[in-house]
């Protein structure tokens, strides 16, 4: 009595691109070109037009376009149904214009509190011993749309997350080559993307302890191929288990510092209040700290929210991750959390990777249900129904949720 899933697509055609769109883009580029020639455009802008020239990144037209400029693409959750997220379906979060792909002159410079500054070519990096690590990357703003009061920023829902294999030299090996001075306390990553006007450069730092962790990489590859431009070609940091913005893309400089970097994207950007706030309550910047590791979280990938289901048994599937911790358990409820039943965790696992999970749900009756999912990690942290509010809407990890109407 096996009937197959016909359709669980829930996302509208928000993201469909047309021939007219491409034609129009051509016009935009010509105009941009003319303005550029006349010296009227800030340098950061041209890159964004050149990506528009190609429309979306290749094969990414099933993603939700939160913004086309700057490029912010969210994965519909029903596509997050494999342990490894295909690169073309992986969410994209760019703060600034996508830079042009660099030529052979590109170098990665290791500078700052080191004995011997380094300048390495891509070929030299590729010759180093490399490590492959499967890492769940999640934007700190994933789920921002669910916070009340709303926070300013891209209104991500559930799909600014993906799981991929990243390959490249360990950051610690590069730092050892350069020789860390005793004053080395933090490591800052800077990309060659160019901010327009006085927009601050996207530079973020991590503490030295995380930088010299064996699992922190300078990734050159993603899912077995060279990084695509929108994912940071030719090299990006991979700071496993931490918010996506720690893993800076398009690296050009790794600077060892004797203090935490103090630019906009460290402060006021990407900070959390030290103690819980009432929703909407302002916080003194002194009472905040940088967001680091991801929180325990599960998301339902099927059935889609608002599904009409016929039949006696429905397979509920999802993903669950916990940053630097391990997923211990995922539970499912069909009665608002009065009772919970454990889901079956998928066999594929890695230290910083999500687990797939599934639950064979037999609806107790016909009618309307809200299916909830709740993840628990190996440190005993459980996914809350609603997370504490914070002013910038970071790290939302409220329970997974899908409404289903069951008919005979």
Q: How far is the CB of 366 from other proteins (least distance, A)?
A: 12
**Closest to other proteins by CB, 40 or 287:** 40
Rg (CA), the chain: 22
Q: Tell me whether residue 173 is exposed, middle or buried, using C-beta atoms within 10 angstroms of its C-beta: 0 to 12, 13 to 18, 19 or more.
A: middle
| Contact (Cβ atoms closer than 8 angstroms) between residue 21 and residue 54 | no
**Closest to other proteins by CB, 149 or 285:** 149
**Closest to other proteins by CB, 278 or 286:** 278
> Which residues neighbour 168 within 8 Å (Cβ) at sequence distance 6 or greater?
125, 130, 131, 217, 218, 219, 220, 221, 235, 238
Residue 212 has a CB neighbour count (10 Å cut-off) of 17
Q: How far is the CB of 65 from other proteins (least distance, A)?
A: 7
**Closest to other proteins by CB, 319 or 404:** 404
Going by their DSSP bridges, the two strands 236-238 and 186-191 should be labelled as unpaired
Q: How far is the CB of 146 from other proteins (least distance, A)?
A: 6
**Closest to other proteins by CB, 323 or 391:** 391
**Closest to other proteins by CB, 120 or 404:** 404
**Closest to other proteins by CB, 39 or 104:** 39
CA–CA distance, 12 with 4 (Å, rounded to integer): 22
CA–CA distance, 108 with 251 (Å, rounded to integer): 7
CA–CA distance, 81 with 357 (Å, rounded to integer): 10
Q: How far is the CB of 138 from other proteins (least distance, A)?
A: 19
Q: How far is the CB of 303 from other proteins (least distance, A)?
A: 6
Q: How far is the CB of 104 from other proteins (least distance, A)?
A: 30
Q: How far is the CB of 268 from other proteins (least distance, A)?
A: 9
Instruction: Count CA atoms within 13 Å of residue 294 on its CB side.
Output: 38
Q: How far is the CB of 393 from other proteins (least distance, A)?
A: 11
Q: State how far the alpha carbon of 387 is from the alpha carbons of 147, 271, 303, 307, 394, in Å.
A: 9, 15, 23, 26, 10
Length of the chain, in residues: 408
Q: Which helix (H) or strand (E) holds 125?
A: helix 122-127
**Closest to other proteins by CB, 75 or 309:** 309
């Amino acid at each position: 009595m096996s009937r197959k899933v016909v359709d669980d697509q829930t996302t509208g055609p928000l993201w469909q691109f047309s021939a007219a769109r491409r034609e129009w883009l051509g016009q935009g580029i010509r105009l941009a070109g003319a303005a550029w020639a006349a010296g009227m455009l800030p340098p950061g802008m041209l890159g964004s037009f050149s990506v528009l020239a190609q429309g979306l990144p290749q094969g990414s037209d099933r993603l939700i376009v939160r913004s086309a400029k700057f490029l912010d693409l969210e994965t519909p959750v029903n596509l997050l149904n494999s342990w490894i997220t295909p690169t073309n379906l992986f969410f994209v979060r760019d703060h600034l214009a996508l830079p042009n792909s660099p030529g052979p002159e590109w170098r990665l410079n290791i500078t700052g509190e080191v004995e011997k500054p380094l300048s390495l070519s891509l070929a030299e990096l590729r010759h180093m011993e490399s490590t492959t690590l499967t890492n769940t990357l999640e934007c700190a703003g994933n789920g921002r749309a669910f916070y009340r009061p709303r926070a300013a920023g891209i209104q991500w829902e559930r799909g600014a997350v993906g799981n991929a294999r990243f390959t490249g030299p360990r950051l610690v090996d590069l730092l050892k080559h350069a020789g860390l001075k005793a004053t080395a306390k933090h490591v800052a990553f800077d990309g060659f993307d160019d901010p327009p006007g006085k927009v601050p450069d996207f530079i973020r730092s991590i503490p030295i302890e995380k930088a010299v962790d064996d699992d922190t990489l300078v990734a050159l590859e993603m899912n077995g191929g060279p990084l695509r431009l929108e994912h940071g070609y030719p090299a990006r940091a991979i700071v496993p288990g931490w918010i996506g913005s720690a893993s800076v893309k398009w690296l050009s400089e790794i600077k060892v510092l004797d203090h935490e970097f103090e630019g906009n994207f460290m402060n006021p950007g990407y900070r959390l209040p030290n103690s819980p706030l009432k929703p909407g309550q302002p916080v003194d910047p002194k009472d905040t700290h940088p967001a680091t590791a991801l929180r325990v979280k599960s998301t339902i990938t099927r059935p889609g929210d608002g599904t009409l289901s016929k039949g006696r048994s429905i397979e509920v599937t999802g993903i669950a991750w916990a940053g630097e911790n391990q997923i211990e358990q995922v539970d499912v409820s069909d009665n608002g959390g009065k009772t919970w039943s454990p889901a079956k965790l998928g066999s594929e696992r890695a230290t910083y990777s999500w687990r797939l999970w599934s639950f064979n749900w037999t609806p107790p009756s016909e009618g309307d249900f809200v299916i909830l999912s709740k993840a628990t990690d190996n440190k005993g942290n459980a996914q809350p129904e609603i997370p504490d509010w914070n002013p910038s809407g970071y790290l939302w990890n409220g329970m997974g949720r899908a409404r289903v109407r069951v008919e005979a």
